[in-house]
Amino acid sequence: MQLLKFIEHTGEITSFLLKTLLVTLSKPPKVKHILKYMEEIGVNASLLIILTGFFTGGVLVVETYPTFHKFNAEYLIGALVSLSLSRELSPVLVALLVTARSGSAIAANIGTMRITEQIDALEVMAVNPFRYLIAPRLVAATVTLPALTILSYIAGVIGGYFTAVYLYGVNDYMYWEKLKDFTETKDILGGLYKASFFGGTLSIITAYFGYITRGGAEGVGRSTTTAVVVASVLILIFDYFLTALIY
């Protein structure tokens, strides 16, 4: 039974994605709608992303400094923080945070519109719900997550710098020099590619589960929970394959 449900949802999500892409390419959503969701997903989450990124960089130093110190390799702390954040931690943490914060809102919003028959009303008025509700969110998330990832990376590097230099006495010049020496353009771009893919994933998954909501207010809660869990798990699964592919 669970396997059948999995196959059914996989097919429906694929169809849902193709419909959204077709609408996005053939008749793009209005710019004002895209900007509205970019503000909701990106701008309003920026403080949370900066705070999380800063302390993530600090925790990396706290966890790894004792080991590096044993081998007199403290000067490599900057490179470690930069590579860990750019390749892995920033895109994944940003995607998970946005899924929890904005993805749940997407599922709840669309789910509420479904059970209150607002989506049916849009169809009666000849308004394509995919163009009006789904496509702007897909574009906004795909564009916004790389920007949030850059923000997280910068905050994390600064957090790592303060922890390494002022808490452990690492040479600040060596911190920045080794960071620059070991961090390549492909490390940064790889993280941004991941973030963009994660943005598309979380927006489609959460919108899909909101769109198929049934069963009143209880159904909205169930759809929202399912959407966040499925999107989060898929982000972690896709992260493995994208890492193997890119790096």
Q: What is the mean pLDDT of residues 81-90?
A: 96
Can you tell me the distance from the alpha carbon of 233 to that of 6, in angstroms, rounded to the nearest whole number?
14
What percentage of the chain has pLDDT greater than the value 90? 86
Q: What is the mean pLDDT of residues 235-247?
A: 94
Q: Are the C-beta atoms of residues 206 and 106 closer than 8 Å to each other? A: yes
User: Looking at residue 14, what is its pLDDT?
Assistant: 92
Residue 21 lies in a domain: no
Label residue 247 by pLDDT band (50, 70, 90). Answer: confident
Buried b (16+ CB within 10 A) or exposed e, 189-228: ebbbbbbbbbbbbbbbbbbbbbbbbeeeeebbeebbebbb
Q: What is the mean pLDDT of residues 31-38?
A: 94
Our count of domains for the chain comes to: 1
- Angle separating helix axes 185-211 and 104-115, nearest 10 degrees: 20
Residue 6 confidence (pLDDT) above 90? no
Residue 42 lies in a domain: yes
Label residue 1 by pLDDT band (50, 70, 90). Answer: low
Mean pLDDT, rounded, of the chain: 93
Residue 88 lies in a domain: yes
Q: What is the span of the domain harbouring residue 46? A: 30-246
Residue 15 lies in a domain: no
Residue 4 lies in a domain: no
Q: Are the C-beta atoms of residues 101 and 44 closer than 8 Å to each other? A: no
Residue 152 lies in a domain: yes
User: Looking at residue 127, what is its pLDDT?
Assistant: 87
pTM: 0.93
What are the tens digits of pLDDT across the range 109-126?
A: 999 999 998 998 988 998
- For 110, other C-beta atoms within 10 Å of its C-beta total 27
Residue 217 confidence (pLDDT) above 90? no
DSSP at 218: H
Residue 137 lies in a domain: yes
User: Looking at residue 172, what is its pLDDT?
Assistant: 92
Identify the residue whose tokens are 């070991």.
Answer: 182
Instruction: Tell me the torsion sign for CA atoms 140, 234, 97, 192.
Output: negative
Q: What is the mean pLDDT of residues 176-195?
A: 94
Residue 208 lies in a domain: yes
- Angle separating helix axes 216-246 and 185-211, nearest 10 degrees: 160
Nearest CA to 85 among 71, 66, 64? 64
